[in-house]
Amino acid sequence: MQSRWDIGEPEKPTINKDTEQLKSELLTLNMGPQHPATHGVLRIEIWTDSEIVAHAIPHLGYLHRCMEKHAENLDYRGVIPFVDRLDYLAAMNMEWTYVAAVEKMLGTEVPRRGELIRIMTAELQRIASHLMAFGTYALDLGAFSPFLYAFEEREKILRLFEEVSGARLLYNYIWIGGVWNDWTDEQLARVSAFCDTMEEEAKKYNELVSMNKIFVQRTANVGVFTLQDCFDYGATGPVLRGSGMKWDLRKNAPYSLYSEFDFDVPVGEAELGQVGDCWNRYYVRMKEVIQSIKIIRQVLEKLEPGSVMGKVPKVIKLPKGEVYMRHECPRGELGIHLVSEGDSKQPYRLKVKSPCFTHTSMLPRIAPGQMIADFVASVGSIDIVLGEVDR
Amino acid sequence: MSTAVEQNSSFKNYFSGLFNGISTTLKGMWITFRYVWAVKPVSIEYPEVREVLPERARMRLFNDSQNCISCTQCAMACPVDCIYIASEKLPEGAEIKKTSNGQAIRLKLTQFTIDTALCCYCGLCTTVCPTECLTHSHDYEFSQYTIDAMKYDYLAPDVKAWRDRIVKA
Protein backbone atom coordinates (compact mmCIF):
# COMPACT_ATOMS: atom_id res chain seq x y z
CA MET A 1 0.00 0.00 0.00
CA GLN A 2 1.77 3.09 -1.23
CA SER A 3 0.59 6.48 -0.22
CA ARG A 4 1.42 9.73 -1.88
CA TRP A 5 2.92 10.92 1.35
CA ASP A 6 5.07 8.33 2.95
CA ILE A 7 4.36 8.65 6.62
CA GLY A 8 5.67 5.34 7.75
CA GLU A 9 4.05 2.19 8.98
CA PRO A 10 0.59 2.61 10.48
CA GLU A 11 0.34 2.26 14.19
CA LYS A 12 -1.26 -0.94 15.33
CA PRO A 13 -4.67 -0.60 16.93
CA THR A 14 -4.32 -0.78 20.65
CA ILE A 15 -7.85 -1.32 21.89
CA ASN A 16 -8.45 -4.83 20.68
CA LYS A 17 -5.74 -7.20 21.85
CA ASP A 18 -7.19 -10.13 19.91
CA THR A 19 -6.62 -8.52 16.54
CA GLU A 20 -2.89 -8.24 17.13
CA GLN A 21 -2.57 -12.00 17.22
CA LEU A 22 -4.76 -12.52 14.19
CA LYS A 23 -2.41 -10.59 11.88
CA SER A 24 -5.36 -9.54 9.80
CA GLU A 25 -4.76 -7.61 6.60
CA LEU A 26 -5.67 -3.97 6.66
CA LEU A 27 -8.55 -2.94 4.44
CA THR A 28 -8.35 0.40 2.68
CA LEU A 29 -11.56 2.33 2.81
CA ASN A 30 -12.32 5.67 1.26
CA MET A 31 -14.37 7.99 3.38
CA GLY A 32 -15.51 10.68 1.06
CA PRO A 33 -15.10 12.76 -1.03
CA GLN A 34 -18.89 12.74 -0.93
CA HIS A 35 -19.29 11.50 2.61
CA PRO A 36 -21.92 13.46 4.48
CA ALA A 37 -19.77 13.61 7.60
CA THR A 38 -16.88 15.38 5.93
CA HIS A 39 -18.54 18.80 5.58
CA GLY A 40 -17.48 19.37 2.03
CA VAL A 41 -15.29 17.35 -0.23
CA LEU A 42 -12.63 15.79 1.94
CA ARG A 43 -11.44 12.30 1.13
CA ILE A 44 -10.01 10.36 4.02
CA GLU A 45 -8.24 7.15 3.20
CA ILE A 46 -8.74 4.87 6.18
CA TRP A 47 -6.87 1.66 6.76
CA THR A 48 -9.17 -0.42 8.83
CA ASP A 49 -8.73 -3.52 10.87
CA SER A 50 -12.33 -4.78 10.96
CA GLU A 51 -14.20 -1.92 12.66
CA ILE A 52 -11.10 -0.25 14.04
CA VAL A 53 -9.22 2.47 12.24
CA ALA A 54 -5.53 1.72 11.99
CA HIS A 55 -4.52 4.76 10.04
CA ALA A 56 -6.18 7.72 8.36
CA ILE A 57 -4.77 9.87 5.59
CA PRO A 58 -6.68 12.99 4.59
CA HIS A 59 -6.46 13.77 0.88
CA LEU A 60 -7.05 17.39 0.04
CA GLY A 61 -7.53 19.44 -3.07
CA TYR A 62 -11.05 18.63 -4.21
CA LEU A 63 -12.12 22.20 -3.60
CA HIS A 64 -8.92 23.90 -4.66
CA ARG A 65 -9.68 27.12 -6.51
CA CYS A 66 -6.24 28.65 -6.66
CA MET A 67 -7.44 31.64 -4.71
CA GLU A 68 -4.01 32.83 -3.62
CA LYS A 69 -2.73 32.98 -7.19
CA HIS A 70 -5.95 34.58 -8.40
CA ALA A 71 -5.52 37.33 -5.85
CA GLU A 72 -2.23 38.37 -7.44
CA ASN A 73 -4.11 39.44 -10.56
CA LEU A 74 -6.90 41.33 -8.87
CA ASP A 75 -7.11 44.80 -7.42
CA TYR A 76 -7.38 45.04 -3.64
CA ARG A 77 -11.14 45.47 -3.69
CA GLY A 78 -11.63 42.60 -6.10
CA VAL A 79 -9.98 40.13 -3.73
CA ILE A 80 -12.77 40.47 -1.18
CA PRO A 81 -15.30 38.23 -3.05
CA PHE A 82 -12.60 35.56 -3.26
CA VAL A 83 -11.74 35.84 0.42
CA ASP A 84 -15.46 35.34 1.12
CA ARG A 85 -15.27 31.95 -0.48
CA LEU A 86 -12.56 30.68 1.83
CA ASP A 87 -14.81 29.76 4.69
CA TYR A 88 -18.24 30.19 3.23
CA LEU A 89 -19.92 29.58 6.59
CA ALA A 90 -18.10 32.48 8.23
CA ALA A 91 -17.53 34.85 5.32
CA MET A 92 -17.75 38.00 7.45
CA ASN A 93 -14.78 36.98 9.58
CA MET A 94 -12.76 36.09 6.48
CA GLU A 95 -13.46 39.45 4.87
CA TRP A 96 -12.64 41.32 8.01
CA THR A 97 -9.22 39.69 8.36
CA TYR A 98 -8.24 40.51 4.80
CA VAL A 99 -9.63 44.03 4.97
CA ALA A 100 -7.86 44.67 8.28
CA ALA A 101 -4.58 43.64 6.68
CA VAL A 102 -5.07 46.08 3.79
CA GLU A 103 -6.16 48.84 6.16
CA LYS A 104 -3.11 48.34 8.34
CA MET A 105 -0.84 48.91 5.35
CA LEU A 106 -2.93 51.76 4.01
CA GLY A 107 -3.23 53.44 7.42
CA THR A 108 -6.97 53.97 7.06
CA GLU A 109 -9.02 55.17 10.00
CA VAL A 110 -12.30 53.33 10.29
CA PRO A 111 -15.12 55.32 11.90
CA ARG A 112 -16.20 54.09 15.30
CA ARG A 113 -19.66 53.08 14.12
CA GLY A 114 -18.18 51.13 11.26
CA GLU A 115 -15.83 49.28 13.58
CA LEU A 116 -18.63 48.46 16.02
CA ILE A 117 -20.83 47.20 13.21
CA ARG A 118 -17.97 45.00 12.07
CA ILE A 119 -17.72 43.50 15.54
CA MET A 120 -21.46 42.92 15.60
CA THR A 121 -21.58 41.25 12.20
CA ALA A 122 -18.54 39.14 13.03
CA GLU A 123 -20.12 37.93 16.26
CA LEU A 124 -23.44 37.26 14.55
CA GLN A 125 -21.53 35.29 11.97
CA ARG A 126 -19.78 33.37 14.72
CA ILE A 127 -23.16 32.40 16.16
CA ALA A 128 -24.38 31.36 12.71
CA SER A 129 -21.26 29.32 12.13
CA HIS A 130 -21.44 27.60 15.51
CA LEU A 131 -25.12 26.87 14.93
CA MET A 132 -24.15 25.18 11.70
CA ALA A 133 -21.43 23.24 13.52
CA PHE A 134 -23.93 22.22 16.19
CA GLY A 135 -26.56 21.16 13.67
CA THR A 136 -24.28 19.18 11.41
CA TYR A 137 -22.49 17.57 14.33
CA ALA A 138 -25.77 16.26 15.67
CA LEU A 139 -26.58 15.16 12.12
CA ASP A 140 -23.30 13.25 11.87
CA LEU A 141 -24.16 11.41 15.04
CA GLY A 142 -27.61 10.50 13.80
CA ALA A 143 -29.91 13.14 15.26
CA PHE A 144 -31.81 14.99 12.58
CA SER A 145 -34.09 17.46 14.34
CA PRO A 146 -31.37 19.58 16.05
CA PHE A 147 -30.16 20.44 12.55
CA LEU A 148 -33.55 21.94 11.72
CA TYR A 149 -33.76 23.86 15.00
CA ALA A 150 -30.29 25.29 14.39
CA PHE A 151 -31.22 26.35 10.88
CA GLU A 152 -34.33 28.09 12.10
CA GLU A 153 -32.18 30.44 14.19
CA ARG A 154 -29.43 30.69 11.59
CA GLU A 155 -32.00 31.77 9.06
CA LYS A 156 -32.76 34.87 11.15
CA ILE A 157 -29.10 35.91 11.01
CA LEU A 158 -28.84 35.22 7.28
CA ARG A 159 -31.99 37.23 6.63
CA LEU A 160 -30.51 40.20 8.50
CA PHE A 161 -27.29 39.88 6.52
CA GLU A 162 -29.24 39.61 3.28
CA GLU A 163 -31.13 42.80 4.08
CA VAL A 164 -28.02 44.72 4.96
CA SER A 165 -25.58 43.40 2.37
CA GLY A 166 -27.68 41.78 -0.35
CA ALA A 167 -26.41 38.22 -0.15
CA ARG A 168 -27.00 35.34 2.19
CA LEU A 169 -23.59 33.71 2.34
CA LEU A 170 -20.97 35.55 0.30
CA TYR A 171 -21.52 39.06 1.46
CA ASN A 172 -18.78 41.37 0.18
CA TYR A 173 -20.05 43.57 3.01
CA ILE A 174 -16.94 44.59 4.91
CA TRP A 175 -15.06 46.97 2.66
CA ILE A 176 -11.68 48.59 2.88
CA GLY A 177 -12.34 51.62 5.10
CA GLY A 178 -15.58 50.52 6.69
CA VAL A 179 -18.68 48.59 5.80
CA TRP A 180 -20.90 48.84 2.74
CA ASN A 181 -24.26 49.72 4.24
CA ASP A 182 -25.45 50.99 7.56
CA TRP A 183 -27.89 49.07 9.75
CA THR A 184 -31.23 50.72 10.39
CA ASP A 185 -32.70 51.03 13.88
CA GLU A 186 -35.37 48.51 12.95
CA GLN A 187 -32.72 45.94 12.03
CA LEU A 188 -30.78 46.63 15.23
CA ALA A 189 -33.97 46.07 17.21
CA ARG A 190 -34.30 42.71 15.49
CA VAL A 191 -30.71 41.85 16.43
CA SER A 192 -31.59 42.64 20.03
CA ALA A 193 -34.69 40.45 19.83
CA PHE A 194 -32.61 37.70 18.26
CA CYS A 195 -30.17 37.80 21.19
CA ASP A 196 -33.05 37.17 23.60
CA THR A 197 -34.46 34.23 21.65
CA MET A 198 -31.00 32.80 21.00
CA GLU A 199 -30.27 32.59 24.72
CA GLU A 200 -33.45 30.59 25.22
CA GLU A 201 -32.65 28.43 22.22
CA ALA A 202 -29.14 27.71 23.47
CA LYS A 203 -30.62 26.33 26.68
CA LYS A 204 -32.94 24.20 24.60
CA TYR A 205 -30.07 22.86 22.51
CA ASN A 206 -28.12 21.93 25.61
CA GLU A 207 -31.11 20.07 26.97
CA LEU A 208 -31.83 18.39 23.65
CA VAL A 209 -28.32 17.42 22.58
CA SER A 210 -25.44 18.38 24.88
CA MET A 211 -26.71 16.59 27.97
CA ASN A 212 -28.39 13.76 26.12
CA LYS A 213 -27.03 10.44 27.33
CA ILE A 214 -26.73 8.97 23.82
CA PHE A 215 -24.85 12.02 22.57
CA VAL A 216 -22.54 12.04 25.60
CA GLN A 217 -21.78 8.34 25.16
CA ARG A 218 -20.85 8.95 21.54
CA THR A 219 -18.62 11.96 22.18
CA ALA A 220 -17.23 11.97 25.71
CA ASN A 221 -13.73 10.44 26.01
CA VAL A 222 -13.59 10.10 22.22
CA GLY A 223 -10.91 11.65 20.03
CA VAL A 224 -8.82 13.18 22.78
CA PHE A 225 -6.30 15.84 21.81
CA THR A 226 -3.92 16.50 24.65
CA LEU A 227 -2.65 20.02 25.09
CA GLN A 228 0.76 18.89 23.89
CA ASP A 229 -0.80 17.58 20.65
CA CYS A 230 -2.43 20.96 20.10
CA PHE A 231 0.89 22.76 20.59
CA ASP A 232 2.71 20.32 18.33
CA TYR A 233 0.29 20.73 15.45
CA GLY A 234 -0.49 24.39 16.06
CA ALA A 235 -4.19 24.05 16.75
CA THR A 236 -6.21 27.18 17.43
CA GLY A 237 -9.76 28.18 18.17
CA PRO A 238 -12.28 25.83 19.78
CA VAL A 239 -9.97 22.84 19.29
CA LEU A 240 -7.26 24.45 21.42
CA ARG A 241 -9.75 25.80 23.93
CA GLY A 242 -11.49 22.45 24.13
CA SER A 243 -8.14 21.01 25.20
CA GLY A 244 -8.03 23.40 28.12
CA MET A 245 -5.89 26.29 26.88
CA LYS A 246 -7.36 29.72 27.50
CA TRP A 247 -6.25 31.36 24.28
CA ASP A 248 -8.39 33.74 22.31
CA LEU A 249 -6.96 36.48 20.13
CA ARG A 250 -9.83 38.76 21.03
CA LYS A 251 -8.57 38.65 24.63
CA ASN A 252 -4.86 37.84 24.32
CA ALA A 253 -3.97 40.12 21.43
CA PRO A 254 -7.00 42.39 21.11
CA TYR A 255 -7.59 43.80 17.65
CA SER A 256 -10.19 46.34 16.61
CA LEU A 257 -12.20 47.48 19.65
CA TYR A 258 -12.36 44.13 21.42
CA SER A 259 -10.40 45.45 24.40
CA GLU A 260 -13.45 47.56 25.30
CA PHE A 261 -15.71 44.56 25.64
CA ASP A 262 -16.35 42.39 28.63
CA PHE A 263 -16.57 38.69 27.85
CA ASP A 264 -15.11 35.40 28.97
CA VAL A 265 -13.07 32.89 27.02
CA PRO A 266 -14.75 29.52 27.48
CA VAL A 267 -12.47 26.51 27.79
CA GLY A 268 -13.13 22.82 28.06
CA GLU A 269 -13.71 22.13 31.76
CA ALA A 270 -14.61 18.44 31.56
CA GLU A 271 -18.15 18.75 32.91
CA LEU A 272 -18.56 15.42 31.19
CA GLY A 273 -15.85 13.25 29.71
CA GLN A 274 -12.30 14.54 29.83
CA VAL A 275 -10.57 17.71 28.67
CA GLY A 276 -9.78 17.64 24.95
CA ASP A 277 -12.39 15.12 23.85
CA CYS A 278 -15.11 15.64 21.26
CA TRP A 279 -17.73 16.60 23.81
CA ASN A 280 -15.60 19.36 25.32
CA ARG A 281 -14.72 20.79 21.91
CA TYR A 282 -18.38 20.80 21.05
CA TYR A 283 -19.41 22.33 24.34
CA VAL A 284 -16.85 25.14 24.01
CA ARG A 285 -18.72 26.22 20.88
CA MET A 286 -22.04 26.24 22.70
CA LYS A 287 -20.51 28.39 25.42
CA GLU A 288 -18.98 30.72 22.85
CA VAL A 289 -22.44 31.40 21.43
CA ILE A 290 -23.46 32.81 24.81
CA GLN A 291 -20.32 34.98 24.94
CA SER A 292 -21.00 36.28 21.42
CA ILE A 293 -24.51 37.27 22.48
CA LYS A 294 -22.93 39.14 25.40
CA ILE A 295 -20.64 41.06 23.00
CA ILE A 296 -23.50 41.89 20.61
CA ARG A 297 -25.57 43.32 23.48
CA GLN A 298 -22.65 45.57 24.44
CA VAL A 299 -22.24 46.70 20.82
CA LEU A 300 -25.91 47.62 20.66
CA GLU A 301 -25.46 49.78 23.77
CA LYS A 302 -22.38 51.51 22.40
CA LEU A 303 -23.65 52.22 18.87
CA GLU A 304 -24.03 55.90 18.10
CA PRO A 305 -25.14 57.44 14.83
CA GLY A 306 -22.33 58.33 12.50
CA SER A 307 -20.55 57.40 9.33
CA VAL A 308 -19.70 53.78 8.58
CA MET A 309 -17.17 54.40 5.82
CA GLY A 310 -13.81 56.09 6.24
CA LYS A 311 -11.84 58.03 3.64
CA VAL A 312 -10.24 55.69 1.13
CA PRO A 313 -8.57 56.64 -2.17
CA LYS A 314 -10.51 55.65 -5.25
CA VAL A 315 -7.66 53.51 -6.56
CA ILE A 316 -5.99 51.63 -3.74
CA LYS A 317 -2.21 51.36 -4.01
CA LEU A 318 -0.34 50.01 -1.04
CA PRO A 319 3.20 51.06 -0.08
CA LYS A 320 6.00 48.56 -0.41
CA GLY A 321 6.04 46.16 2.49
CA GLU A 322 4.26 43.28 4.03
CA VAL A 323 1.80 42.66 6.81
CA TYR A 324 0.55 39.64 8.71
CA MET A 325 -2.90 39.94 10.20
CA ARG A 326 -4.55 37.30 12.32
CA HIS A 327 -8.07 37.26 13.63
CA GLU A 328 -10.05 34.90 15.78
CA CYS A 329 -12.51 33.25 13.41
CA PRO A 330 -15.16 30.73 14.46
CA ARG A 331 -12.86 27.86 13.50
CA GLY A 332 -9.61 29.26 14.81
CA GLU A 333 -6.99 31.80 13.91
CA LEU A 334 -7.05 32.95 10.32
CA GLY A 335 -3.85 34.58 9.20
CA ILE A 336 -3.47 36.75 6.11
CA HIS A 337 0.04 37.51 4.91
CA LEU A 338 -0.07 40.29 2.37
CA VAL A 339 3.00 41.40 0.45
CA SER A 340 2.98 44.53 -1.66
CA GLU A 341 5.60 45.57 -4.17
CA GLY A 342 4.62 49.21 -3.90
CA ASP A 343 3.02 51.35 -6.61
CA SER A 344 0.88 48.46 -7.77
CA LYS A 345 -2.85 47.99 -7.76
CA GLN A 346 -2.49 44.29 -7.08
CA PRO A 347 -1.03 42.35 -4.16
CA TYR A 348 2.34 40.76 -4.87
CA ARG A 349 1.51 37.77 -2.73
CA LEU A 350 -1.39 36.77 -0.56
CA LYS A 351 -0.90 33.84 1.76
CA VAL A 352 -3.69 32.47 3.86
CA LYS A 353 -2.99 30.54 7.03
CA SER A 354 -6.05 28.43 7.53
CA PRO A 355 -7.03 26.97 10.91
CA CYS A 356 -9.01 24.16 9.28
CA PHE A 357 -5.92 22.98 7.41
CA THR A 358 -4.08 22.61 10.70
CA HIS A 359 -6.96 20.75 12.25
CA THR A 360 -7.27 18.40 9.28
CA SER A 361 -3.62 17.48 9.69
CA MET A 362 -4.41 16.44 13.27
CA LEU A 363 -6.80 13.71 12.13
CA PRO A 364 -4.09 11.03 11.62
CA ARG A 365 -3.01 11.72 15.20
CA ILE A 366 -6.29 10.62 16.79
CA ALA A 367 -7.41 8.07 14.21
CA PRO A 368 -5.37 4.97 15.21
CA GLY A 369 -7.35 2.75 17.53
CA GLN A 370 -10.69 4.44 17.06
CA MET A 371 -13.84 2.79 15.86
CA ILE A 372 -15.04 4.12 12.50
CA ALA A 373 -18.14 5.61 14.11
CA ASP A 374 -15.95 7.37 16.67
CA PHE A 375 -13.74 8.67 13.88
CA VAL A 376 -16.81 10.25 12.27
CA ALA A 377 -17.50 11.93 15.60
CA SER A 378 -13.90 13.19 15.72
CA VAL A 379 -14.02 14.61 12.20
CA GLY A 380 -17.26 16.38 13.02
CA SER A 381 -16.00 17.80 16.28
CA ILE A 382 -13.09 19.72 14.77
CA ASP A 383 -15.61 21.44 12.49
CA ILE A 384 -13.64 21.86 9.30
CA VAL A 385 -14.81 23.69 6.21
CA LEU A 386 -13.08 22.41 3.13
CA GLY A 387 -13.27 25.69 1.27
CA GLU A 388 -10.75 27.00 3.74
CA VAL A 389 -8.54 23.91 3.74
CA ASP A 390 -8.08 23.82 -0.02
CA ARG A 391 -8.42 27.52 -0.86
CA MET B 1 -10.55 3.75 28.60
CA SER B 2 -10.12 1.20 31.36
CA THR B 3 -11.25 3.63 34.06
CA ALA B 4 -14.46 4.34 32.15
CA VAL B 5 -15.23 0.63 32.03
CA GLU B 6 -14.59 0.19 35.74
CA GLN B 7 -16.92 3.05 36.59
CA ASN B 8 -19.70 1.62 34.48
CA SER B 9 -19.40 -1.83 35.93
CA SER B 10 -20.55 -0.91 39.42
CA PHE B 11 -24.15 -1.82 40.25
CA LYS B 12 -25.17 1.68 41.31
CA ASN B 13 -23.65 3.31 38.26
CA TYR B 14 -25.45 0.90 35.99
CA PHE B 15 -28.87 1.95 37.23
CA SER B 16 -28.05 5.65 37.51
CA GLY B 17 -26.76 5.50 33.92
CA LEU B 18 -29.96 3.77 32.85
CA PHE B 19 -32.08 6.39 34.58
CA ASN B 20 -29.96 9.20 33.12
CA GLY B 21 -30.31 7.75 29.63
CA ILE B 22 -34.08 7.43 29.82
CA SER B 23 -34.67 10.83 31.45
CA THR B 24 -32.47 12.83 29.07
CA THR B 25 -33.97 11.08 26.06
CA LEU B 26 -37.48 11.80 27.27
CA LYS B 27 -36.52 15.44 27.86
CA GLY B 28 -35.31 15.73 24.28
CA MET B 29 -38.37 13.94 22.96
CA TRP B 30 -40.58 16.37 24.87
CA ILE B 31 -38.84 19.35 23.20
CA THR B 32 -39.38 17.77 19.80
CA PHE B 33 -42.95 16.78 20.60
CA ARG B 34 -43.82 20.38 21.51
CA TYR B 35 -43.24 21.30 17.89
CA VAL B 36 -46.43 19.44 17.00
CA TRP B 37 -48.63 22.22 18.33
CA ALA B 38 -46.64 24.94 20.11
CA VAL B 39 -44.43 26.15 17.26
CA LYS B 40 -45.65 27.53 13.99
CA PRO B 41 -44.06 26.20 10.80
CA VAL B 42 -41.21 28.37 9.55
CA SER B 43 -40.74 26.89 6.10
CA ILE B 44 -42.63 28.16 3.07
CA GLU B 45 -43.91 26.13 0.14
CA TYR B 46 -41.60 27.61 -2.41
CA PRO B 47 -43.03 27.63 -5.93
CA GLU B 48 -46.48 28.64 -4.72
CA VAL B 49 -45.42 30.95 -1.90
CA ARG B 50 -42.48 33.25 -2.52
CA GLU B 51 -40.49 35.20 -0.02
CA VAL B 52 -40.28 38.92 -0.66
CA LEU B 53 -36.63 39.67 -1.28
CA PRO B 54 -34.98 42.52 0.61
CA GLU B 55 -34.35 45.77 -1.24
CA ARG B 56 -30.62 45.17 -1.58
CA ALA B 57 -30.80 41.53 -2.67
CA ARG B 58 -28.20 40.83 -5.32
CA MET B 59 -29.69 38.65 -8.02
CA ARG B 60 -29.24 38.69 -11.82
CA LEU B 61 -27.54 41.79 -13.19
CA PHE B 62 -29.46 44.09 -15.46
CA ASN B 63 -28.04 46.85 -17.59
CA ASP B 64 -30.34 49.64 -18.67
CA SER B 65 -28.51 50.23 -21.97
CA GLN B 66 -30.22 53.56 -22.62
CA ASN B 67 -28.34 55.08 -19.71
CA CYS B 68 -24.99 53.37 -20.30
CA ILE B 69 -22.11 55.67 -21.27
CA SER B 70 -19.67 52.80 -22.13
CA CYS B 71 -17.18 53.88 -19.49
CA THR B 72 -16.11 50.22 -18.88
CA GLN B 73 -15.62 50.87 -15.17
CA CYS B 74 -17.82 47.88 -14.33
CA ALA B 75 -15.74 45.59 -16.55
CA MET B 76 -12.56 46.77 -14.82
CA ALA B 77 -13.99 46.34 -11.33
CA CYS B 78 -15.26 42.84 -12.07
CA PRO B 79 -13.04 40.28 -10.31
CA VAL B 80 -14.03 37.45 -12.66
CA ASP B 81 -14.13 39.43 -15.93
CA CYS B 82 -17.63 38.43 -16.91
CA ILE B 83 -18.70 41.74 -18.47
CA TYR B 84 -17.97 42.25 -22.16
CA ILE B 85 -18.32 45.80 -23.46
CA ALA B 86 -17.62 47.20 -26.90
CA SER B 87 -18.30 50.69 -28.15
CA GLU B 88 -17.49 52.89 -31.13
CA LYS B 89 -17.28 56.62 -31.74
CA LEU B 90 -20.46 58.40 -32.65
CA PRO B 91 -20.56 59.55 -36.28
CA GLU B 92 -19.76 63.24 -36.77
CA GLY B 93 -22.62 65.58 -36.19
CA ALA B 94 -24.67 63.01 -34.42
CA GLU B 95 -26.95 64.15 -31.64
CA ILE B 96 -25.40 63.60 -28.18
CA LYS B 97 -28.02 62.07 -25.93
CA LYS B 98 -28.06 62.40 -22.20
CA THR B 99 -28.58 59.83 -19.47
CA SER B 100 -31.28 60.20 -16.86
CA ASN B 101 -28.84 61.82 -14.44
CA GLY B 102 -27.54 64.25 -17.04
CA GLN B 103 -24.30 62.70 -18.29
CA ALA B 104 -23.60 62.92 -22.00
CA ILE B 105 -23.40 59.68 -23.97
CA ARG B 106 -20.37 60.23 -26.21
CA LEU B 107 -19.88 56.65 -27.38
CA LYS B 108 -22.19 54.27 -29.15
CA LEU B 109 -22.58 51.04 -27.23
CA THR B 110 -22.28 48.10 -29.63
CA GLN B 111 -22.03 45.24 -27.17
CA PHE B 112 -22.93 44.78 -23.55
CA THR B 113 -22.93 41.12 -22.59
CA ILE B 114 -22.74 39.59 -19.15
CA ASP B 115 -21.87 35.94 -18.68
CA THR B 116 -24.20 35.17 -15.81
CA ALA B 117 -22.69 31.73 -15.36
CA LEU B 118 -19.34 33.35 -14.56
CA CYS B 119 -20.74 36.18 -12.45
CA CYS B 120 -20.12 35.84 -8.72
CA TYR B 121 -22.79 38.35 -7.65
CA CYS B 122 -20.37 40.37 -5.56
CA GLY B 123 -21.91 43.70 -6.51
CA LEU B 124 -18.62 45.50 -7.18
CA CYS B 125 -19.69 46.52 -10.71
CA THR B 126 -22.89 48.17 -9.53
CA THR B 127 -21.08 50.32 -6.99
CA VAL B 128 -18.71 51.88 -9.52
CA CYS B 129 -21.35 52.59 -12.19
CA PRO B 130 -21.50 56.40 -12.56
CA THR B 131 -24.97 56.49 -14.10
CA GLU B 132 -26.39 53.65 -12.00
CA CYS B 133 -27.63 51.88 -15.09
CA LEU B 134 -26.11 48.55 -14.05
CA THR B 135 -28.13 47.14 -11.19
CA HIS B 136 -28.95 43.87 -9.54
CA SER B 137 -32.50 42.85 -10.33
CA HIS B 138 -34.58 40.60 -8.10
CA ASP B 139 -34.83 37.87 -10.70
CA TYR B 140 -33.35 34.62 -9.41
CA GLU B 141 -35.01 31.96 -11.57
CA PHE B 142 -32.98 31.77 -14.76
CA SER B 143 -31.62 28.25 -15.13
CA GLN B 144 -30.85 27.27 -18.70
CA TYR B 145 -30.18 24.08 -20.61
CA THR B 146 -26.91 25.24 -22.15
CA ILE B 147 -24.15 27.35 -20.68
CA ASP B 148 -24.20 29.68 -23.69
CA ALA B 149 -27.75 30.65 -22.89
CA MET B 150 -26.47 32.17 -19.65
CA LYS B 151 -24.82 34.96 -21.64
CA TYR B 152 -27.19 37.89 -21.68
CA ASP B 153 -26.85 40.49 -24.39
CA TYR B 154 -28.37 43.62 -22.95
CA LEU B 155 -28.82 45.18 -26.39
CA ALA B 156 -31.04 42.36 -27.64
CA PRO B 157 -34.67 43.38 -28.01
CA ASP B 158 -36.05 40.63 -25.80
CA VAL B 159 -33.71 41.54 -22.96
CA LYS B 160 -34.47 45.22 -23.47
CA ALA B 161 -38.09 44.37 -22.88
CA TRP B 162 -37.20 43.66 -19.27
CA ARG B 163 -36.56 47.33 -18.79
CA ASP B 164 -40.22 48.09 -18.47
CA ARG B 165 -40.53 45.25 -16.02
CA ILE B 166 -37.48 46.03 -13.89
CA VAL B 167 -36.51 49.70 -14.23
CA LYS B 168 -39.08 52.00 -12.70
CA ALA B 169 -38.55 55.25 -14.55
Give the pairing of strands A43-49 and A174-175: unpaired
Question: Looking at the complex, does the CB of residue A204 fall below 8 Å from at least one CB of chain B?
Answer: yes
Residue A212 maps to a domain: yes
Residue A267 maps to a domain: yes
Beta bridge partner(s), residue B98: B104
> What average pLDDT does the structure give for chain A?
85
Chain B interface disruption, residue of A95, A141, A157, A162, most B CBs within 10 A:
A162
- Cis previous bond, A33, omega within 30: yes
Buried b (16+ CB within 10 A) or exposed e, A53-87: bbbbbbebebbeeebeebbeebbbbbbbbbbbbbb
Nearest-CA distance B62 → chain A (Å): 15
Asked whether the beta carbons of residue A212 and residue B25 sit closer than 8 angstroms, the reply is yes
In three-state secondary structure terms, B97 is coil
Res A24 pLDDT > 70: no
Residue A92 maps to a domain: yes
Asked whether the beta carbons of residue A214 and residue B25 sit closer than 8 angstroms, the reply is yes
Determine phi and psi for B69, rounding to 5 degrees.
Answer: -105, 15
Asked whether the beta carbons of residue A213 and residue B42 sit closer than 8 angstroms, the reply is no
CATH code, A89:
1.10.645.10
> How far from A105 is each of A320, A321, B7, B32, B67, CA to CA, in Å?
9, 8, 58, 52, 38
Contacts of A221 in chain B (CB under 8 A): 1, 4
Contacts of A165 in chain B (CB under 8 A): 56
Residue A286 maps to a domain: yes
- A237-254 confidence digits (pLDDT tens): 899 998 888 888 888 888
pLDDT computed for residue A1 by the predictor? 44
Nearest to A213 among B20, B55, B56 (CB): B20
Residue span of the structural domain in which A311 resides: 80-316
- B57-108 confidence digits (pLDDT tens): 888 888 887 788 888 888 888 888 888 888 888 877 777 777 777 777 778 8
Question: Looking at the complex, does the CB of residue A145 fall below 8 Å from at least one CB of chain B?
Answer: yes
pLDDT computed for residue A20 by the predictor? 58
Residue A188 maps to a domain: yes
Res A307 pLDDT > 60: yes
* HSE of A233, CA atoms in CB hemisphere, 13 A: 24
Task: Give the orientation angle of helix A185-205 with respect to helix A278-302, to 10 degrees.
Answer: 160
CA distance A86 to A82: 7
Domain count for chain A: 1
Strand order across the A349-353 sheet: A321-329, A332-340, A349-353
In three-state secondary structure terms, A382 is coil
> How far from A182 is each of A46, A178, A246, CA to CA, in Å?
49, 10, 34
pLDDT computed for residue A227 by the predictor? 87
Res A174 pLDDT > 50: yes
Res B167 pLDDT > 60: no
Residue A46 maps to a domain: no
Asked whether the beta carbons of residue A79 and residue B79 sit closer than 8 angstroms, the reply is yes
Name the residue in chain B with its Cα closest to that of A79: B79
Name the residue in chain A with its Cα closest to that of B58: A166
pLDDT computed for residue A124 by the predictor? 92
Q: What angle do CA B53, B58, B64 make, to 5 degrees?
A: 110
Strand segments (E) across A92-177: 174-175
Q: How does DSSP classify residue A110?
A: P
Residue A90 maps to a domain: yes
Asked whether the beta carbons of residue A165 and residue B32 sit closer than 8 angstroms, the reply is no
Residue A160 maps to a domain: yes
CA distance B27 to B47: 37
CB atoms within 10 A of CB A153: 20
Tell me which residues of chain A, numbers 56 to 85, contact chain B at a CB-CB cutoff of 8 Å. 74-75, 77-82, 84
